[in-house]
Structure 1
Amino acid sequence: MKREKYNLDFILLNIGYAEHHADWNWKNINSPFARIHFVVKGAAKIVRNGGKTELKEGHLYLTPSYTHHGYECEEDLTLFYIHIYESPDKPRSIFDQFGFPVEIVGDGLCANLVERLYEINPGRELSYYDPNDYDNSTELIRNIALQGNTPLALELESQGIIKQILSRFFAHAKEKTPDVDERMSRVLDYIHSHIDTTISISELADISFLTKDHLIRSFKKKINCTPGKYINRKKIEKAQLMLLVGDYSVQELAFKLGFDNVFYFNRLFKKLTGENPTSYKKRLEIFANQAKD
């Protein structure tokens, strides 16, 4: 494992303590944020990948960014929630590289770490519990501003706590492509570091010293999709994050991500997210205005 490839810095967006009474029920969440939940007491379910995970007291749960999921809660539930995300400037997400367990057993140290993170980051609670409301630019900008004003000592402590918590999940994580050879690794690195440009199959074939047909077959075998589909998915994921953190027109966003055809960008965005970028952006603006009110 080449550890120099793994940048493990995260931005803390939210941490809070919540008590729910059969009201933590949301569907179709697909967010640029990773979520960690620490269950204090009660019961609920996380729905993802066609299955349901029963939440248990004293356990921690990780939902990586861009993971389609939902929650079901028919009883009382008390938990801490932590929302983190990786910088949009980061070439490759750690969640692209590793598959993490959904659930790990917590202990007294985990509980103390979560409580300490909550204590040293006041004002990071959610304004709304509906993910459609808190996954909006106003909420995000507010929390980034709070993060930017955090004293350095507490910021370092927060980073350390987040890494300690994630280390528990890392202990059971598996590389998604453990048998990828050096040539395919170069291809993946190139895609992620050039995601804001137009990437051709010919370019990828050249850097991997393979023919285009051989590259496509090898990529599909190792990554379970074609290079073109992989590139498009990563471009749209970055587009979602950029719409949250910046003020871009759809045309600007398309060009910044290497699309010459805005119509194609719109169509691809809708295919992968379920809505076109204009309605996605308007929905964020509506929630932002509601937050201001």
Structure 2
Amino acid sequence: MTKEKECLNFTLLNIGHAIHNADWNWSNVSSPFTRLYWVEGGNAKIVLPDGTYNLTPCHLYLIPSFTLHSYVCDGYFSLYYIHIYEEQTDTFSILEQLNLPVEVETTDVDVQLVKRLLEINPNRELMRYDPSFYDNSQTLMKNISENAQLPYYLRIETKGILQQLFSRFLKKAELRIEVTDNRILKALRYIRKNIDKTLNINQLSSLCFLTDDHFIRLFKKEMKCTPMQYINQKKIERAQMMLIIDNLTIKEIAYNLSFDNISYFNKLFKNITGLTPGEYKKGLHI
């Protein structure tokens, strides 16, 4: 774990109970929010980058934001779904620091928590289950604003339940990165705070009072990737969020993230997400 303060700023977007009959089949889903499922009955599958998982009763399933995945359902399937938005800041999220398991067994307490969360957040169900219907800027902002309508004590309870359910996945979580060098932490904070600007190795190495070569070697040792790979990943994640939330063209988003070459931005976006910005914006990503 890094020395940064832990950050878990969860906001509930949706919660509901759904029963499907071979009609839960969606390809290339990738959203700026985390999905949590409690499977009540039946069977279905989820296809993730690291393999296919069978969704079985009495289990919780977690799909982090910006994770490309697909659903396969050829029969009866009953589940409770929870969509969770984590506000992006210049601090480090636990979700970024850990590799979390996809699946954990539920306890009686988990079931009670899910049902209580639905009870105190009525009318937060999805009107339609096609992701292209709800995974858009208007719906996302509407769902975020719904939380402000709750009494304060229910907002606190909602956040507490979300954190309790999420904590079930922490027991078997593995550390993804452990940044021990304060110079790299300083560089990471600078990148996050200035992700909309042009960033280069010389800027970052100077910030850390290192030569370019020394900085690159140290960054790769700590982060298991090059500085530019990390910067590009964070820029494209921000672009995904902007495509959902902001009413901007792809060209405007590219320029706002300091990409002068639109073709390069499009190529980088597809290399990282598997889809072009145009496909993402049109809803083909979901």
TM-score (norm 1): 0.88
Is 1:255 the equivalent of 2:255? yes
Q: Which runs of 5+ in 1 are unaligned?
A: 288-293
Give SS of 1:68's match.
coil
Distance 1:269 1:156, change over 3 A: same
Alignment-mate amino acid for residue 245 of structure 1: I
Give SS of 2:254's match.
helix
Displacement after TM superposition at 1:274 (Å): 4.3
Write out aligned runs for 1:85-164 (5 A).
85-164=85-164
Displacement after TM superposition at 1:278 (Å): 4.7
Task: Check the 8 A contact 1:92/1:193 in 2, yes or no.
Answer: no
Distance 1:25 1:167 in 2: 29
Give SS of 2:9's match.
coil
Distance 2:274 2:49 in 1: 17
Distance 1:91 1:140, change over 3 A: same
Displacement after TM superposition at 1:275 (Å): 4.4
Query: 1 or 2, which has the higher helix percentage?
Result: 1
Displacement after TM superposition at 1:165 (Å): 0.7
Q: Which runs of 5+ in 2 are unaligned?
A: none
Q: Look up the match of 1:79.
A: 79
Write out aligned runs for 1:8-87 (5 A).
8-87=8-87
Q: Look up the match of 1:291.
A: none
Task: Check the 8 A contact 1:65/1:95 in 2, yes or no.
Answer: no
Displacement after TM superposition at 1:120 (Å): 1.0
Where relative contact order (Cα < 8 A, 6+ residues apart) is larger, the structure is 2
Task: Check the 8 A contact 1:46/1:54 in 2, yes or no.
Answer: yes
Distance 2:3 2:207 in 1: 22
Distance 2:95 2:177 in 1: 12
Task: Check the 8 A contact 1:88/1:241 in 2, yes or no.
Answer: no
Task: Check the 8 A contact 2:2/2:180 in 1, yes or no.
Answer: no
Distance 1:255 1:66, change over 3 A: same
Write out aligned runs for 1:144-223 (5 A).
144-178=144-178, 180-223=180-223
Count of aligned pairs between the two proteins: 285
Distance 1:101 1:240, change over 3 A: same
What is the root-mean-square deviation in Å for CA atoms of aligned residues?
Answer: 2.4
Distance 2:274 2:174 in 1: 30
Alignment-mate amino acid for residue 17 of structure 1: H
Partner deviation per Cα, 1:134-188 (whole Å, 9 max, x = no partner): 2112221221232221221111110010011111112222221126433333322
Alignment-mate amino acid for residue 96 of structure 1: E
Distance 1:280 1:54 in 2: 27
More moved, 90-99 vs 41-50: 90-99
TM-score (norm 2): 0.90
Distance 1:239 1:80, change over 3 A: same
Distance 2:228 2:246 in 1: 26
